[in-house]
Amino acid sequence: MTATDSFSSTPEGFRSGFVSFVGRPNTGKSTLTNALVGQKIAITANQPETTRHPIRGIIHRDNAQIIVVDTPGLHRPRTLLGERLNEVVKDTYADMDLIGLTIPADEKIGPGDRWILENVRKVAPTTPILGIVTKVDKVSRDQVAAQLMAVHDLLGESSEIVPVSAVTGEQRDVLIEVITSLLPEGPKFYPDDHITDDDTETRIAELVREAALSGLKDELPHSVAVEVDEIIPNEDRPGVMDVHVVIYVERPGQKEILIGKGGRRIGRIIHNARPQICELLGTNVYLDLRIKVLKNWQSDPKQLGRLGF
Summarize pLDDT for 229-272 with one digit per residue, the tens: 999 999 889 999 999 999 999 999 999 999 999 999 999 999 99
DSSP state, residue 74? P
Which CATH number applies to 200-307: 1.10.10.10, 3.30.300.20, 3.40.228.10, 4.10.490.10?
3.30.300.20
- Is 54 a known ligand-binding residue? no
Nearest to 224 by CA among 42, 50, 41, 43: 50
CATH class of 15-182: alpha beta
- Is 51 a known ligand-binding residue? no
Bridge partners of 16, per DSSP, are 65
- Is 136 a known ligand-binding residue? yes
- Is 218 a known ligand-binding residue? no
- Whether 15-182 shares its CATH topology with 200-307 is answered no
Strand pairing class (284-293; 240-249): parallel
Nearest to 213 by CA among 203, 204, 205, 224: 224
- Is 71 a known ligand-binding residue? yes
Distance CA 299, CA 87 (A): 15
- Is 73 a known ligand-binding residue? yes
Sign of CA dihedral 28, 30, 34, 36: positive
Q: What is the pTM of this model?
A: 0.74
- Is 137 a known ligand-binding residue? yes
Which tens digit of pLDDT belongs to each residue from 271-288? 999 999 999 999 999 999
Detail the DSSP E strand segments found in the chain: 15-22, 55-61, 64-70, 98-104, 129-134, 161-163, 225-233, 240-249, 284-293
For residue 6, name the pLDDT band (cuts at 50, 70, 90).
very low
- Is 27 a known ligand-binding residue? yes
Q: What percentage of the chain reaches a pLDDT higher than 70?
A: 92
- Is 202 a known ligand-binding residue? no
Domain borders along the chain are 15-182, 200-307
- Is 283 a known ligand-binding residue? no
- Is 28 a known ligand-binding residue? yes
Strand pairing class (55-61; 129-134): unpaired
Helix (H, G, I), strand (E, B), or coil: what is residue 269? helix
- Is 134 a known ligand-binding residue? yes
